[in-house]
Amino acid sequence: MPLSAHFPVWDKLTASQQDRISSSAFRKTFTKGTIVHNGSLDCAGLMLIRSGQLRAYILSPEGREISIYRLFDLDVCLFSASCIMNNIQFEVFIQAEKDTEVWIIPPWQYKKLMEESAPVANYTGDLMASRFSEVMWLIEQIMWKRFDQRLASFLLEECAIEGTTQLKLTHELIANHMGSAREVVTRMLRYFQSEGMVKLSRGGVEVLNRKRLEELREE
Amino acid sequence: MPLSAHFPVWDKLTASQQDRISSSAFRKTFTKGTIVHNGSLDCAGLMLIRSGQLRAYILSPEGREISIYRLFDLDVCLFSASCIMNNIQFEVFIQAEKDTEVWIIPPWQYKKLMEESAPVANYTGDLMASRFSEVMWLIEQIMWKRFDQRLASFLLEECAIEGTTQLKLTHELIANHMGSAREVVTRMLRYFQSEGMVKLSRGGVEVLNRKRLEELREE
């Protein structure tokens, strides 16, 4: 699976641009848990995911986290090249949630391409619009949804991603995704359990009644 | 003040592109309070503000509002052309907060320019990155700041925008900006008043102690 087969605007590049990307791009593997991008301290370049899963999140001054979006196979990670984008005035952190293999296009190679090529510049704008849309979805959830609805939505999304109702998630980890406190998550999960929607165990949550969670999410 | 003097990448356009924009762009005036852009129902085009003030906000299903950013003289309004941007999956509303005069570049003229010109495409990406940064700032405020700190920050921003400490703002209007309920705003303003930070009157808030509000904001 060469990069050329999956880089979205490959056929709109000139032969010399294709050569430059082919010869500068490289492959890298991140083991599960690795911090792939540490805010403005890092700028590895544009990453195209061969396989694995990345999570983008923000950090409060006190170290609280909230996940803002996730990336899967063949998604492109833009913020790992945030140094080449003008006007980005926020810090995003990216972590490998599974062992992840990526192609990396070095930032200044990509920047040069954006400056030369309208298709590449427009593609980059489209990528940013996708991430922007995910953050707007999140802000709407935070502002207009109750915590129980957000938690139901999170558990259902995890089931879809993992392809199982047996989720290996600590309450701490859920709190980090949702930008909440562990105690708040624990209290709500216990309520979900008392209502027969989930079953709690050490380091895990089993979804028992997906339909009820879906109804709660849509309320 | 011709459009050419203020359109940011004007000198990177070809003569024929400049002609197309000059002949298709037009001026329009919105009176204070007008809804300039009504989500995906409208797509007037890219707007460059000659004078005035616009507010971008989102709406909950129940009609609650939260302001996401504001635009001032010579700012460019991107989301009034949201139909030409791929991957934008959210609804933004834009309202004139003051009588506002704009130039409008029709959406399909601008789209054609983006497709032809890497500088225009990159400039559009830069604009989106600026708006994205404002929304990320907002999400951080909502997630990590207390309501009293957000209200202090809002009042200080209003003083800066209006150039006065005598703010003509109803509690309802403040609630709409902050995505909060009027009762919550009223309660907190009364607390601010009891602490000598503001003085409340019918339809207005006077900031008495800017320094205390600044300290509160930074806590």
Q: ipTM score here?
A: 0.90
Using CB atoms, pick whichever of A64, A127, A140 lies closest to residue B58. A140
Taking CB atoms and an 8 Å limit, are B88 and A114 in contact across chains? no
Whole-prediction pTM: 0.91
Using CB atoms, pick whichever of B58, B126, B179 lies closest to residue A87. B126
Question: What's the pLDDT tens digit per position in B117-128?
Answer: 999 999 999 999
Taking CB atoms and an 8 Å limit, are A142 and B143 in contact across chains? yes
Q: What does R_g of chain B's alpha carbons equal in angstroms?
A: 19
Distance CA B74, CA B161 (A): 15
pLDDT in the model for residue B203: 85
Is B63 at the interface with chain A, CB within 8 A?
Answer: no
Q: Give residue B151's Cα distance to chain centre.
A: 17
Residue B1 has pLDDT above 80, yes or no: no
Closest residue, chain B, to A111 (C-alpha): B122
Mean pLDDT of B91-118: 97
Distance CA A207, CA A120 (A): 43
Q: Are A59 and A93 in contact (CB under 8 A)?
A: yes
Using CB atoms, pick whichever of A125, A136, A142 lies closest to residue B121. A125
Q: Give residue A200's Cα distance to chain centre.
A: 26
Going by C-alpha positions, the residue among A171, A157, A180, A160 that lies closest to residue A204 is: A171
Residue with tokens 């559009």: B124
Using CB atoms, pick whichever of B58, B87, B137 lies closest to residue A130. B87
Q: What tokens appear for B79 in the block?
A: 């989301």
pLDDT in the model for residue A125: 97
Q: Are A171 and A186 in contact (CB under 8 A)?
A: yes
Beta-ladder partners of B99: none
> How high is the mean pLDDT in each 10-residue block of chain A (219 residues)?
90 96 97 95 95 96 91 96 94 97 97 97 97 95 92 96 95 93 93 94 94 93
Q: Are B69 and B135 in contact (CB under 8 A)?
A: yes
pLDDT in the model for residue B4: 92
Is A88 at the interface with chain B, CB within 8 A?
Answer: yes
Q: Which residues of A touch B120 (CB under 8 A)?
A: 118
Q: Which amino acid appears at position B207 of this protein?
A: V
Question: What's the pLDDT tens digit per position in B180-219?
Answer: 989 999 999 999 998 999 999 988 999 999 999 999 999 8
pLDDT in the model for residue A67: 94
